[in-house]
């Protein structure tokens, strides 16, 4: 029997089309990678070779794809020597990727009001979900993004009204507005127009403003730091809603061989150890956070 995961990964020699350097040691890479762009799904990530001096690659979530141009867009933050070396690369240089890797998010048509919550470098998978459904009128998503460093885009006042959102919380991501998808921003740093609090605060405001019927069609999707994911999972449990989370984890091989990124997951047969790279990174929240 043919293995279902055969021929789903590519080692692709890509070319850097653009490399943007933003506040807060954040960077956006736009790469010519037609094979990966054609196969990537929201929640997929790539393993990036940062330089010949590094034995291990670095996992970075895919933020957007352009299947016509054959490009992928990655947001990352400079945290260690590998991403520091990556941040010095310039347009025109080659860059080796392995991808797309991982179990993606799964949207369900009966849950037509997805609530997408991203924090920090966990924002890209939420943007990728939004891209995947922005032309599908069956879905009415709402996106909440949080950051404790300047957002990696120029926030703008939203032109889309939302019930339940506190007065003055008007900052949004312009790209999502262009797609017709409402969004709001949260931070504890006092950025203009953002909610002065946590992403989960805004989630509760929005959920409380929905009717029971509308709320029954909500599913939560989230990626970000572990404490934020735990808080999002708690909101989902509080409102009795399904929730999928994408875990951030240190990885060595990134393709399931080394089992260096395992987490404990609840299964019907009892606790089990699962690899974040290929068994995830997306898991049902209630199997990770009980």
Do both 152 and 227 map to the same domain?
yes
Q: Which long-range contacts (CB under 8 A, 24 or more apart) does 51-60 make?
A: 51/82, 51/85, 51/86, 53/85, 54/81, 54/82, 54/85, 56/82, 56/251, 56/252, 57/98, 57/254, 58/82, 58/83, 58/86, 59/101, 59/249, 59/251, 59/254, 59/277, 60/29
Confidence of residue 1 (pLDDT cuts 50, 70, 90): very low
Q: What CATH number did the domain enclosing 144 receive? A: 3.40.50.80
Q: Does residue 235 belong to any structural domain of this protein?
A: yes
Helix/strand/coil (H/E/C) assignment for every residue in 207-247: HHHCCHHHHCCEEEEEECCHHHHHHHHHHHHHCCCCEEEEC
Last residue of a domain, one of 101, 133, 158: 101
Confidence of residue 290 (pLDDT cuts 50, 70, 90): confident
32-53 pLDDT, tens digit each: 999 999 999 999 999 999 999 9
The pLDDT mean for the chain works out to 94
Q: What proportions of the chain, in percent to the nearest 5, are helix, strand and coil?
A: 25, 35, 45
Q: Does residue 267 belong to any structural domain of this protein?
A: no
Last residue of a domain, one of 53, 71, 101: 101
CA–chain centroid gap for 63, Å, is 7
Confidence of residue 255 (pLDDT cuts 50, 70, 90): confident
**Of 41, 73, 49, nearest to 152 (Cα)?**
73
Give the pLDDT confidence score for residue 259 in this predicted structure: 79
Do both 120 and 176 map to the same domain?
yes
Do both 192 and 230 map to the same domain?
yes
Question: Residue 264: helix, strand or coil by DSSP?
Answer: strand
| Structural domains counted in the chain | 2
Confidence of residue 83 (pLDDT cuts 50, 70, 90): very high
Please tell me the pTM assigned to this model: 0.95
84-99 pLDDT, tens digit each: 999 999 999 999 999 9
276-286 pLDDT, tens digit each: 999 999 999 99
Range(s) of the domain holding residue 133? 113-243
Q: What integer is the mean pLDDT of 59-65? A: 97
Q: What integer is the mean pLDDT of 157-163? A: 93
Is the pLDDT at 11 greater than 80? The verdict is: yes
186-229 pLDDT, tens digit each: 999 999 999 999 999 999 999 999 999 999 999 999 999 999 99
Do both 181 and 143 map to the same domain?
yes
Is the pLDDT at 8 greater than 80? The verdict is: no
Give the pLDDT confidence score for residue 13 in this predicted structure: 94
Neighbours of 69 (CB within 10 A): 12
Structure tokens that stand for 90 in this block: 């310039």
Distance separating alpha carbons of residues 170 and 184, to the nearest angstrom: 7
Q: What CATH number did the domain enclosing 47 receive? A: 2.40.30.10
Tell the residue number behind the tokens 């404790």, with chain if given: 148
Do both 84 and 163 map to the same domain?
no
Confidence of residue 163 (pLDDT cuts 50, 70, 90): very high
Buried b (16+ CB within 10 A) or exposed e, 173-210: bebbbebebbbbbbbeeebeebbeebbbbbbebbbeeb
Q: What integer is the mean pLDDT of 66-88? A: 96
Give the pLDDT confidence score for residue 2 in this predicted structure: 43
Q: Does residue 107 belong to any structural domain of this protein?
A: no
Do both 35 and 77 map to the same domain?
yes
Tell the residue number behind the tokens 């790279």, with chain if given: 277
CA dihedral 242, 248, 249, 252 (to 10 degrees): 120
Name beta bridge partners: 187. 196
Contact at 8 Å (CB) between 282 and 245? yes
């Amino acid at each position: 029997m043919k293995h279902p995961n055969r021929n789903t990964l590519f080692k692709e020699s890509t070319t850097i089309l653009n490399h943007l350097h933003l506040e807060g040691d954040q960077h956006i890479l736009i790469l010519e990678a037609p094979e990966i762009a054609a196969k990537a799904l929201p929640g997929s990530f790539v393993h990036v070779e940062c330089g010949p001096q590094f034995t291990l690659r670095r996992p970075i979530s895919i933020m957007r794809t352009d299947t016509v141009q054959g490009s992928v867009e990655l947001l990352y933050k400079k945290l260690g020597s590998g991403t520091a070396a990556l941040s010095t690369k310039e347009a025109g240089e080659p860059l080796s990727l392995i991808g797309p890797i991982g179990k993606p998010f799964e949207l369900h048509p009966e849950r037509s009001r997805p609530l997408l919550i991203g924090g920090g470098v966990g924002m890209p998978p939420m943007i990728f979900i939004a891209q995947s459904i922005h032309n599908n009128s069956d879905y009415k998503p709402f996106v909440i993004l949080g950051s404790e460093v300047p957002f990696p885009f120029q926030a703008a006042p939203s032109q889309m009204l939302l019930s339940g959102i506190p007065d003055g919380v008007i900052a949004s991501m312009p790209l999502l507005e262009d797609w017709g998808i409402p969004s709001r921003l949260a931070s504890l740093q006092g950025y203009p127009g953002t909610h002065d609090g946590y992403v989960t605060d805004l989630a509760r405001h929005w959920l409380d403003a929905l009717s029971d019927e509308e709320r029954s069609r909500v599913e939560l999707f989230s990626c970000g730091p572990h404490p934020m994911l735990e808080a999002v999972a708690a909101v989902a449990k509080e409102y009795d809603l399904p929730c999928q989370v994408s875990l951030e984890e240190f990885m060595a091989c990134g393709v399931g061989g080394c089992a260096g990124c395992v987490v404990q997951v609840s299964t019907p047969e009892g606790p089990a150890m699962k690899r974040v790279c290929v068994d995830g990174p997306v898991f049902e929240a209630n199997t990770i956070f009980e």
